[in-house]
Amino acid sequence: MKSEIEYISEITELTDDEFDLFKASLKMLLSKTFIIRGKEREEELYDFTIRNMPIYDAWFSCMDAKIVKDESLGVIAFRGGSGTRLRLGREETCALLVFRLLYEEKRTELSLTSFPSVTLLDFEEKYNAMTNGSLKKTRLEEILRRLQSHKLIDVLSSDVTDKEGLVVLYPALAVSVGRDSIDELLGSLFAGGSGNPEAAGDPAGDPGNAEDAGAGEAGDAGASDAGIEPDLPGEDES
């Protein structure tokens, strides 16, 4: 079996085109956490990374980090230390959980090459039922923009008041919030008796088999705001 040093040395054997793919994939993983199969301009990066996982494992081990893959979902994800994890507040956590549940409901309806989508009305109805509250337009825009920046969703409508506007749900949702974390999140979010966790429904189905026991685990919920720390990078300052 090759050592990590031997795998790292294989970087020097890459062709110029392969080295460009290697650099591009590293940049995407470090800045956006995920490479998603089937997403525009990411198919080649995904295939290259999958073929060369030992090199990536060795490279990331040098920074006490790693990447995990879930080929059933078509997702490769960066896993860093606690300092790389993004803190979400209660409203953002609720929105993330709603999209995660909607993804689980919708993903079985489509082919393996398609991403499920929901309308903004679908989201708002489930969010309102689960929280017994609603989001104002400005706050909704902020939350959607933040989740979109981390490649969890893609909002296709520029007007959040358009109830028929579509939101694409990426499989990164299932990697960020694993099935085992859903009940834990529901419990922490509604521990004070507010909201209606039963409106979440039954998160049936298997979100995939990420090759890491910690893949998709949410961080500890804060007592004050019931936020979580999914494995997402901090805000991109660029």
Please report, for the chain, the start and end positions of each structural domain, with discontinuous segments joined by +. 4-84, 90-200
pTM, two decimal places = 0.80
3-state secondary structure of 79: strand
Query: Is residue 104 within 8 Å of 178, Cβ to Cβ?
Result: no
Strands (E) in 112-234, as ranges, are 117-119, 153-155, 166-169
- Give me 183's structure tokens: 């009940």
Distance CA(172)–CA(230), nearest Å, equals 11
Which top CATH class is 90-200?
mainly alpha
Q: Which of 133, 171, 170, 177 is nearest to 154 (CA)?
A: 170
In contact, 144 and 67? CB cutoff 8 Å: no
Question: CB 34: neighbour CB atoms within 10 A?
Answer: 25
- Gap between the Cα atoms of 180 and 116, Å rounded: 21
* Structure tokens given for 225: 């705001």
The owner of tokens 């590293």 is: 26
Encode pLDDT of 136-193 as tens digits.
999 999 999 999 999 999 999 999 999 999 999 999 999 988 887 888 877 777 765 5
What is the residue-level pLDDT of the chain in tens, covering all 238 positions? 788 889 999 999 999 999 999 999 999 999 999 999 999 889 999 999 999 999 999 999 998 899 999 999 999 999 886 556 667 888 999 999 999 999 999 887 766 557 999 999 999 999 999 999 999 999 999 999 999 999 999 999 999 999 999 999 999 999 988 887 888 877 777 765 555 655 555 554 444 444 443 333 333 333 234 445 555 555 544 4
